[in-house]
């Protein structure tokens, strides 16, 4: 039953009872997922499959729950007191709520809305995750840092100033640094929470191109307010409205022939 | 309107006669003159008060440098106090004593203050945190002499003698509240998104705090700890009946020990001019050490990268 999803072997903490074979083309699956902030329900029975090695975009108006959903996938919601999910989310067939949270977040990385580099040097920012997770042999550390920066298309711009403060970089560079930082620990899934909302169009274009090239390495889920961005980058798109997943399909279908009227209204700009 | 009416009006604040103000251009200009006058008065008042604050500090500094500098010499740093009635001598033992007391106080106060502050900012729940915070603030308000009595009753009396240890404990307890609160405040100023960035990489809560949040807040934390050190360095009251004082060297931690503030207290109250001068010198030395420690700590910390406020 066990699917081999990556070369490295890791200890599996499979939820008891997961006996059906897990399809290789699905990376994560949410089913019947409700979510509550205190007494307020923010998500209503979300069911969604994240395809392996693809970019999945989540769109919808502000407050529709797309970011909330994203933050469930790596259990980031746990930083909010009294936030509580109810339902099932599987990563390669494993219940993420049963996984060790540190282990889960190692496998499911995240890039945030605003660039949030650590107040350290560029090198130390990338090396941080490797050091923390004990993935760094002394010799390979600088190689690993270089690899991550190259993947994030930042190497050429920073290779001569690796020991400068990360704050010396521009906003777009900082965001690519954050992507490189997340990639350094070789996550299987990368969550991106409106990664371009604080950036100008040129920096945005660079990041979109970068995401496209990352598809070989990991599965991505991107929350975006920008419908063009979803149309340009994503293979699949989910439309959220008032805490419900209204429609989920291939991006081309969502944008050309949406099945639901709400989706059509939103993408044609009739509201939102 | 007669001239006399106008002159009466001009003595009144215009707000008292809003109707007349709107009547004639002449009165309007009167009103603007009054406004300018009030403006100048208030500006001067605040300026004078600010100047007063600054000048108090500078007067103290000036006094210290003038009187202390005159009587400061090499012997002050190297010699023991001269026998009573004999001129000369120094305060080498008090300088070392203050150092030892502060070292002991730091060993007690800094770890507790730091870890307590981290708990409050990062891990505390609601009720317990509130209690800790409230208690800390109360402890901060406890007069230093009361803390001295506390140390006297609980350390000096059971041990049957005054000691460096008792003095250091008293000072250490005094350091805790400010160290806790400044650490907490500095940590709270670190943006949540930095913590999330670390957590999202698969970092445990404790490691996030230790490797990202505390380093990011280091400048504030060190400043706070230097403040508490500077404060207890000048404390006299709790030392009077814990460390007591000593005119000789005090080896180990178990005997009464001299300290600069207590020396200042004794020498300033004495009848000898030479002692008065030495008291001034001791004040200058104390201030100098606090200043040096402060600058040194800041230099060390400023080499790191501080976080940028969002």
Contacts of A114 in chain B (CB under 8 A): 193, 310
Contact B195 A79 (CB under 8 A): yes
Q: How far is A230 from chain B (nearest CA, A)?
A: 23
Q: How far is B201 from chain A (nearest CA, A)?
A: 5
d(CA B267, CA B91): 11
A180 in any annotated domain: yes
d(CA B183, CA B121): 8
Diameter over CA atoms, chain A:
57
B215 near A CB under 8 A: yes
Sorted by sequence, the CB contacts under 8 Å of residue A96 that are 6+ apart come out as A28, A73, A75, A89, A90, A104, A108
A74 near B CB under 8 A: yes
- Burial pattern B83-101, b for ≥16 Cβ within 10 A else e, equals eeeeeebbbbbbbebbebb
B210 to chain A: nearest residue by CA? A132
As a whole number, mean pLDDT of residues A10-16 equals 45
Pairing of strands A26-37, A94-95: unpaired
A14 in any annotated domain: no
Residue A49: pLDDT above 70? Answer: yes
pLDDT of the residue at B308: 54
* Helices B218-233/B92-118 angle, 10° precision: 140
Q: Provide the H-helix boundaries in A133-267.
A: 138-151, 155-158, 171-184, 201-214, 227-233, 251-256, 261-267
Q: Which of A105, A114, A181 sits opposite B193 (nearest CB)?
A: A114
pLDDT of the residue at B84: 80
Q: Are B244 and B256 in contact (CB under 8 A)?
A: yes
A238 in any annotated domain: yes
Number of neighbouring beta carbons within 10 Å of residue B203? 25
A5 in any annotated domain: no
Tally the domains of chain A.
1
Query: Best residue in A83, A91, A114, A118 to probe B by mutation, most B CBs within 10 Å?
Result: A118
Cα-based distances in Å from B32 to A180, B4, B42, B272, B295: 62, 20, 15, 62, 49
CATH code for position A221 = 3.40.50.300
Contacts of B211 in chain A (CB under 8 A): 128, 132
Following DSSP, what letter does each residue of B211-248 receive, concatenated? IIIHHHTHHHHHHHHHHHHHHHHT--HHHHTTT---SS
A3 in any annotated domain: no
pLDDT of the residue at B300: 78
A98 in any annotated domain: yes
Calculate ∠ Cα A34-A35-A37, nearest 5°: 155
Q: Is A240 helix (H, G, I), strand (E, B) or coil?
A: strand
Q: Are B15 and B31 in contact (CB under 8 A)?
A: no
Q: Which of B193, B195, B207 sits opposite A132 (nearest CB)?
A: B207
Contact A119 B202 (CB under 8 A): no
Q: Is A224 helix (H, G, I), strand (E, B) or coil?
A: coil
Q: Which of A102, A110, A129 sits opposite B204 (nearest CB)?
A: A102
pLDDT of the residue at B227: 86
d(CA A272, CA B306): 39
Q: How far is A34 from chain B (nearest CA, A)?
A: 22
Write the pLDDT tens digit of every residue in B199-252.
999 999 999 999 999 999 998 899 889 889 998 999 999 999 899 998 889 888
Region of residue B24 (phi > 0: left; psi between -120 and 50: alpha; otherwise: beta)? beta
A8 in any annotated domain: no
Number of neighbouring beta carbons within 10 Å of residue B6? 13
Task: Give chain B's mean pLDDT.
Answer: 88
Q: Which domain holds residue A53?
A: 26-267
As a whole number, mean pLDDT of residues A202-208 equals 91
d(CA A196, CA A166): 18
A76 near B CB under 8 A: yes
A9 in any annotated domain: no
Q: How far is B111 from chain A (nearest CA, A)?
A: 24
Of all residues in chain B, what percent carry a pLDDT higher than 90?
A: 64
């Amino acid at each position: 039953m066990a699917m081999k999803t990556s070369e490295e072997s890791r200890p599996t903490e499979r939820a008891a009872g997961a006996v059906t074979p897990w399809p290789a083309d699905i990376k994560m699956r949410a089913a019947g997922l409700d979510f509550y902030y205190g007494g307020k329900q923010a998500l209503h029975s979300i069911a969604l499959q994240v395809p392996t090695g693809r970019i999945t975009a989540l769109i919808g108006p502000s407050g529709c729950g797309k970011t909330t959903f994203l933050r469930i996938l790596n259990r980031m919601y746990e930083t909010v007191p009294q936030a509580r999910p109810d339902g099932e989310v599987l990563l390669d067939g494993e219940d993420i709520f049963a996984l060790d949270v540190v282990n889960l977040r190692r496998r499911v990385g995240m890039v945030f809305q605003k660039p949030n580099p650590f107040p350290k040097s560029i090198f130390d920012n990338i090396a941080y995750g490797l050091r923390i997770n004990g993935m760094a042999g002394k010799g390979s550390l600088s190689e690993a840092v270089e690899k991550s920066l190259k993947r994030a298309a930042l190497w050429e711009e920073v290779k001569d100033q690796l020991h400068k403060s990360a704050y010396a970089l521009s906003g777009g560079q900082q965001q690519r640094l954050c992507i490189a930082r997340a990639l350094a620990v070789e996550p299987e899934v990368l969550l991106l929470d409106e990664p371009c909302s604080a950036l100008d169009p040129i920096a945005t274009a660079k990041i979109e191109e970068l995401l496209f090239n990352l598809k070989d390495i990991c599965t991505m889920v991107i929350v975006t307010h920008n419908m063009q961005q979803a149309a340009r980058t994503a293979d699949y798109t989910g439309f959220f409205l008032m805490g419900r997943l209204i429609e989920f399909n291939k991006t081309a279908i969502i944008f050309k022939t949406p099945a639901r009227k709400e989706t059509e209204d939103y993408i044609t700009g009739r509201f939102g | 309107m007669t001239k006399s009416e106008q002159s009466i009006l001009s003595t009144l604040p215009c707000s008292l006669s809003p109707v007349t103000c709107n009547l004639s251009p002449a009165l309007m200009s009167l009103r603007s003159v009054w406004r300018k006058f009030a403006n100048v008065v208030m500006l001067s008042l605040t300026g004078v008060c600010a100047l007063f604050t600054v000048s108090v500090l500078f007067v103290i500094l000036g006094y210290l440098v003038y009187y202390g500098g005159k009587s400061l010499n090499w012997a002050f740093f190297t010699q023991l106090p001269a026998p009573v009635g004999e001129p000369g001598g120094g305060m080498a033992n008090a300088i070392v004593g203050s150092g030892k007391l502060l070292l002991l106080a730091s060993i007690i106060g800094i770890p507790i203050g730091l870890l307590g502050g981290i708990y409050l900012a990062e891990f505390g729940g609601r009720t317990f945190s509130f209690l800790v915070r409230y208690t800390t603030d109360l402890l901060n308000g406890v007069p230093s002499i009361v803390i001295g009595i506390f140390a006297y009753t609980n350390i000096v009396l059971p041990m049957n003698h005054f000691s460096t240890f008792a003095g250091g404990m008293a000072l250490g307890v005094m350091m805790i509240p400010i160290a806790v609160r400044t650490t907490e405040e500095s940590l709270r100023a670190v943006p949540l998104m930095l913590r999330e960035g670390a957590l999202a990489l698969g970092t445990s809560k404790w490691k996030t705090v230790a490797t990202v949040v505390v380093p990011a807040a280091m400048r504030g934390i060190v400043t706070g700890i230097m403040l508490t050190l500077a404060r207890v360095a000048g404390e006299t009251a709790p030392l009077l009946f814990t460390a007591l004082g000593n005119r000789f060297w005090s080896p180990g931690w178990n005997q009464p020990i001299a300290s600069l503030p207590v020396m200042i207290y004794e020498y300033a109250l004495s009848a000898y001019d030479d002692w008065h001068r030495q008291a001034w010198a001791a004040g200058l030395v104390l201030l100098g050490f606090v200043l040096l420690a402060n600058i040194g700590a800041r230099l060390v910390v400023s080499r790191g990268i501080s976080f940028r406020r969002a």
